[in-house]
Amino acid sequence: MGQAVVADAIDKYKGQPTKQAQFLLNYMNFNVAVDGRMNQEALNAILMIQFCSGIRITGMIDIETLDAIRNYVAAGFTADRIRTCFNEMTYSGSMLAFTQSVNVGSINPITLALIESMLEECGQSKASITSALRTPEDQARAMFNNIARTGANSQRSIYEANGNAVIDIYVSGKAAGKTDAQILADMTARIAATPEGVLSLHVVSQTTYDKKNIIDIGHSSLTDISAFFNTLNEYKERGIISRVLVENGCYHIEIPMPK
């Protein structure tokens, strides 16, 4: 049955790869409109299929992706089965490094595979992830170190009221002669009392983080910063990345998870 559906799609949408892919995805119960336009439902399905197939994650319907969709339909896969595959996938790449403080287990494997795909697309071979999901203690330590390195005023430009309140704790603590440990404890307490995601999108529950992964990639780990930044913006235009910021020598990247 699946092979007949694939043959029908090839015949019906010859020379129209987007519509052909949408037709097949809709057959798999992804509930995708067959209109030749890339909507969020189609993008989510394509990202999951690319990841499950082990091909470069681009969000685009190239011949390799179209072949993967055809093969899944011919094999009788449904949307639910693709989602199961997606949820069971693990990261097996070798291009990424992680600084010691990074909570690697919090990151969805597709995020890691996606970063590798972007590195490949702009001709780079490695990058280092410096931050992902953070505890209040992690956030306090990061802010403490950044203030010590660049100064309080420099850091105030990054944060809004709640973040600046934490910076004030650092400044007043130093003026009062408190130890670094005391200042860190005070900063941590203030961050812990702030609603999740208000001070930093890194400081949320795992449940919230599972919906949108937030990672930082250090500039110093990249061989060509501008090429990677251009690729980040290309992926943002495709709807794969929702936001990119440049701060504290890193690219701050927000990636909604396909569902």
What is the per-residue pLDDT across 168-193, written as a single tens digit (0 to 9) for each? 999 999 999 999 999 999 999 999 99
Please give the pLDDT value at position 114: 97
90-117 pLDDT per residue, tens = 999 999 999 999 999 999 999 999 999 9
pLDDT tens, residue by residue, 193-237: 999 999 999 999 999 999 999 999 999 999 999 999 999 999 999
Q: Can you point out the beta strands (E) in 106-146? A: 127-131
What tens digit of pLDDT does each residue of 25-61 get?
Answer: 999 999 999 999 988 999 999 999 999 999 999 999 9
- Tokens for 156? 């105030």
Class of domain 96-133+204-256: alpha beta
- The structure's pTM equals 0.92
Question: What pLDDT is attached to residue 116?
Answer: 97
Question: For residue 98, what are the β-bridge partners?
Answer: 129
β-pairing, 127-131 with 243-247?
unpaired
1 vs 205, more confident: 205
Task: Judge whether residue 259 has pLDDT over 90.
Answer: no
Rounded mean pLDDT of the chain? 96
- Find the mean pLDDT for residues 137-146: 97
Q: How many residues does the chain have?
A: 259
d(CA 192, CA 204) in angstroms, rounded, equals 10
Mean pLDDT of 118-143: 97
The phi-psi region of residue 249 (left if phi > 0; otherwise alpha if psi is between -120 and 50; otherwise beta) is left
Q: Where are the domains of the chain?
A: 2-88, 96-133+204-256, 139-192
